Amino acid sequence: MSEPSVPPPPSYTPPPPPPASGTVSPNRNLMIVLSYIWILFLVPLLAEKNDPEVQWHAKHGAVITVTEIIVWIAVWILSMVTAFVHLGCAGCFLHLGVWIAFLVLRILCIMKGVSGQRFIIPGISQYADRF
């Protein structure tokens, strides 16, 4: 007696289910990364109008950029004042500290955003929801 031959199962994989809420951008991670690279927050803000998560990160990146500009102006004024008082290179360390702090902040925001979370900064992140 011969064994009946069984055909192999079809190699069809069903498409993934549609997203539950809103339209998810196919390049969401790239847009979230661009949201936190200074002026490049404009790219996801203008290009991905249908993805609410990307829009929030772009607005959050804009708020961080404006905050950074304000802090840099304050540091510049402070370093100008300290230069007249002859405090030496205290301004150099202040500039370095501010630069490192904002770099770490942006990296944290990118890491949280790519993993699907939001990095909330007290006193600053609330402005992202206002516009």
Whether residue 19 is contained in a domain is answered as: no
Whether residue 1 is contained in a domain is answered as: no
Whether residue 59 is contained in a domain is answered as: yes
Whether residue 23 is contained in a domain is answered as: no
Residue pLDDT, tens place only, 28-82: 788 888 888 888 888 888 887 888 888 888 888 999 999 999 998 988 887 777 6
User: Please, what sign has the CA dihedral across residues 45, 48, 50, 55?
Assistant: negative
What is the pTM for the complete model shown?
Answer: 0.70
Whether residue 14 is contained in a domain is answered as: no
Whether residue 57 is contained in a domain is answered as: yes
Q: Domain span at residue 59?
A: 28-129
Instruction: State how many domains the chain has.
Output: 1
